[in-house]
Amino acid sequence: MRRVPGFERPLLQWVFVALALMLAAITATEAIALRRLRRAIEELRAADLNARLDREQMERRLSREQSARESFVLEVERLRGSVSPTGAGTTLTLSPLRARDATPPDATVIAPAPAQSIQLRLLLPGGRHEPSTRFAVSVRSWSSGRSIWSRGELAPSAVDGKAAIVARVTGDVLAPGAYEIGVSEVTADGNGREVAFYEFAVGSPEPR
């Protein structure tokens, strides 16, 4: 190997030794920082997973409580005679939209009483649907898209000769404001594929 002129000087050799040590120290520091960063990322992922699980549990609990409340309200109304055994009563029939409007919809209904039951009739696109098909419904805030009410395992029904999803909500869910509704078909793997969406708005109650 050909010798490099001047490299035999001790001062130059010590400079290279110092540079090598500095490089080794920087490499070790970066490796430690990388391990710490990976550990922090794993902890954040675990915390995010736990938060999502907690949120899903809370949503399921809220859904069960809402369902129990709606069943209770329906039973009370039936006993009072305000809802017939066939399920007639206050209804809101909506047709699917092709595109989301740029502005919120006009008021469709006046804000109901908190204990009032409203039947949602959501007409489905595409004609007939198999009775075995199951759907999920989600009522969302029009402005933020935040889900405020949802139901799953709903079978299609017939409304005026058209396929529709029928669900009931109570007035405490529908505060004054604009809403959108998403209807998803539950696939074989348990996931949802949105097949239709709707828009409506709840107006403020008229002053007495």
Of 104, 114, 124, nearest to 179 by C-alpha is 104
User: What does the pLDDT average to over 112-139?
Assistant: 82
Pairing of strands 177-186, 135-141: antiparallel
Q: What is the mean pLDDT of the chain?
A: 79
Please classify residue 135 by burial: count the beta carbons closer than 10 Å to its beta carbon, then call 0-12 exposed, 13-18 middle and 19+ buried: buried
Q: Are 151 and 123 in contact (CB under 8 A)?
A: no
**pLDDT level of residue 204 (50, 70, 90 thresholds):** confident
pLDDT for residue 78: 57
Residues β-bridged to residue 40: none
pTM of the full structure:
0.57
Question: Which pair of structure tokens corresponds to residue 188?
Answer: 């074989």
Please classify residue 45 by burial: count the beta carbons closer than 10 Å to its beta carbon, then call 0-12 exposed, 13-18 middle and 19+ buried: exposed
pLDDT for residue 162: 85
pLDDT tens, position by position, 61-107: 766 666 666 656 555 555 555 444 434 447 889 999 988 888 888 88
Residues β-bridged to residue 80: none
Question: Which pair of structure tokens corresponds to residue 13?
Answer: 């050799």
How far is residue 29's CA from residue 200's CA, in Å, rounded to a whole number?
59
Q: Are 109 and 203 in contact (CB under 8 A)?
A: yes
| DSSP at 82 | S
pLDDT for residue 183: 93
